[in-house]
Amino acid sequence: NMIKRTAPIIVGNWKTTPETLQEATKFVKNLDKKCSSSKTKLPKKAYYIATSDIFIPHLAELSERGYVGSQNISGIRPGQVTGVTIPSQIASAGADFVIIGHSEVRKQGETVEERSHKVALSLQAKLTTIACFGEHTRDKNGNYLSELEEDVKKTLSLVDRSLFNNLIIAYEPVWAIGSKNPATTSECFEVVIALRRALASIAGIDYAKKVQVLYGGAVAPDNAKDFLEDGGVDGLLIGRASQDVQSFVDIINACYEK
């Protein structure tokens, strides 16, 4: 179920909200209704929501205007491990996509080895895979760019070439997440070029040109479109602003306005 990607990719990361399945259900129904009545021409599928794994089967069946997926995934194969959900299980329960390497997951101790297994297995399970990369801080000499490139190469080292088409890259500067200040569009643009350069070295220039890159970090309705127009990205990864129906819809509409 390869997701056709020509339109902007607007991904909401719900983190540990909402508290109940009932609230999540109400949110999706409301969101779909607002998408359908929008004055802006939206595609059939206009959003992605990364939710709690246990909500996925319910919301995937309910959502008509978007894709539903997971916020993290294990890099574990079928077998004798207790208390873990594996990529093929998530996919068969209705997930369309997964986020891997979000800075909050990295903070919990996720290693680059673990990340490379996660990416390989989620792509094998035919999940659209959003792999996140971002620097903690910026040094004056731009060393963070080569660190990011190195991270991209290591994280994708186990991926089968034929599966690269189902991979999306997200640029998530850690210093911008949850802050009031996003990266500027030119800071974003510079990193997107570095990420594509790293991708070209492992998967070839054609892939690097067409891979979709998202930006995440303090995205709001009033700056969303700037990143698409001047930041060199093809979509957005949104935390807090996706957890409120109206602000999420405002961002979706802003991104699709001509």
Active site residues: 102, 172
Strands 128-133, 167-171: parallel, antiparallel or unpaired by DSSP?
Answer: parallel
Q: Is 153 exposed, middle or buried (0-12, 13-18, 19+ CB in 10 A)?
A: middle
How far is it, in rounded angstroms, from Cα 246 to Cα 253? 10
Residues in a beta bridge with 98: 70, 129
The answer to whether 231 and 194 are in contact (CB under 8 A) is no
Angle, helices 143-155/185-203, rounded to nearest 10 degrees? 40
Give the largest Cα separation in the chain, rounded. Answer: 52
List, as one string, the DSSP characters of 73-106: -----SSS-TT---HHHHHHTT--EEEE--HHHH
